[in-house]
């Protein structure tokens, strides 16, 4: 249980020593440096500067009584509050950071990924653009982890999808949950639409290309490639008739 809590505190941004000292202080209540050092397994000399670090983060307070110094852990919820404050600060600085990034004249970049974890990286990247629209050409296959992992997170971020996919029984079943899953689809004859990879256009300049069979993926950052494919998509979308699932 303790190791689990320690790992969770580390994920929340504490160092290993900070996590050990905070947990020890929380369990001991109002206490002295010797007991914290013994309980946490951290050297006494190191415990002092770890406590100073936790004090700066508002997680440990110091109390002096009868010329003796005592320490006690603050409410654990302060960790969440601090994380929320940090996120607000990052959010406030984001426009400036993006302005700098957009100012730099970047060459188009291409990144390759392998395996299921690599494919998920491309899907996760599309989630970084909330309240925008994704344009996609879907292949014959639909992977289960898309429904289980990706779609709920996409819906949370209010990201709509317009998709072109082959007209098959499976596609029609997939299309039945359109409104619920924030998606609009158009179906093309399987004979005319024989696509083995998924192509996804998102953000302002990104293209994801995924081969589920080969378990490889590619992420392209290029405004010209993105816009060219977007024009092709829009032309196809315009002339493909609506079909009821």
Asked if residue 31 has pLDDT above 60, the reply is yes
Give the domains, in start order, of the chain with CATH numbers. 2-77 (1.10.10.10), 108-239 (3.30.870.10)
Asked if residue 202 has pLDDT above 90, the reply is yes
Asked if residue 54 has pLDDT above 70, the reply is yes
Percentage of the chain with pLDDT > 70?
88
Where is 208: in which H helix or E strand? strand 206-211
pLDDT of residue 159: 93
Evaluate whether 142 touches 174 at the Cβ level (below 8 Å). yes
Asked if residue 144 has pLDDT above 70, the reply is no
| DSSP notation for 9-44 | HHHTT--HHHHHHHHHHHHH-SB-HHHHHHHHT--H
Asked if residue 169 has pLDDT above 80, the reply is yes
Evaluate whether 233 touches 135 at the Cβ level (below 8 Å). yes
pTM: 0.58
pLDDT band per the 50, 70, 90 thresholds, residue 141:
low
Asked if residue 140 has pLDDT above 80, the reply is no
Asked if residue 1 has pLDDT above 60, the reply is no
Evaluate whether 54 touches 21 at the Cβ level (below 8 Å). yes
Asked if residue 59 has pLDDT above 90, the reply is no
List, for residues 80-101, the tens digit of each pLDDT value.
777 677 677 767 777 776 666 6
pLDDT of residue 210: 93
Let me know how long the chain is: 245
Asked if residue 106 has pLDDT above 70, the reply is no
Distances (CA, A) of 111 to 67, 142, 231: 61, 23, 23
Tell me the mean pLDDT in the region 36-63: 86
pLDDT band per the 50, 70, 90 thresholds, residue 30:
confident
pLDDT of residue 28: 87
pLDDT band per the 50, 70, 90 thresholds, residue 131:
confident
Tokens found for residue 143: 């992977």
How high is the mean pLDDT of the chain?
83
- The alpha carbon dihedral of 17, 20, 22, 24 has a sign of negative
pLDDT of residue 218: 93
């Amino acid at each position: 249980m303790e190791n689990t809590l320690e790992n969770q505190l580390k994920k929340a941004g504490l160092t290993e020593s900070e996590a050990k000292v905070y947990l020890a202080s929380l369990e001991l209540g109002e206490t002295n440096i010797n007991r914290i050092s013994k309980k946490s397994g951290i050297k006494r000399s190191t415990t002092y500067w770890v406590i100073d670090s936790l004090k700066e983060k508002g997680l440990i307070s110091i109390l002096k009584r009868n010329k003796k110094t005592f320490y006690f852990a603050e409410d654990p919820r302060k960790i969440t509050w601090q994380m929320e404050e940090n996120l607000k600060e990052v959010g406030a600085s984001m426009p400036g950071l993006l302005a700098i990034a957009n100012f730099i004249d970047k060459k188009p970049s291409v990144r390759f990924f392998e395996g299921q974890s690599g494919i998920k990286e491309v899907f996760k990247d599309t989630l970084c653009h909330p309240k925008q629209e994704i344009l996609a050409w879907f292949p014959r296959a639909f992977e289960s982890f898309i429904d289980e992992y990706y779609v709920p997170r996409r819906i949370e971020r209010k990201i709509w999808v317009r998709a072109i996919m082959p007209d098959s029984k499976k596609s029609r079943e997939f299309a039945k949950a359109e409104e619920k899953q924030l998606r609009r689809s158009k179906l093309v004859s399987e004979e005319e639409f024989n696509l083995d990879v998924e192509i996804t256009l998102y953000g302002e300049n990104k293209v994801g290309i995924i081969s589920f069979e080969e378990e490889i993926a590619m992420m392209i950052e290029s405004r010209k490639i993105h816009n060219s494919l977007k024009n092709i998509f829009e032309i196809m979308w315009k002339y493909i008739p609506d079909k009821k699932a």
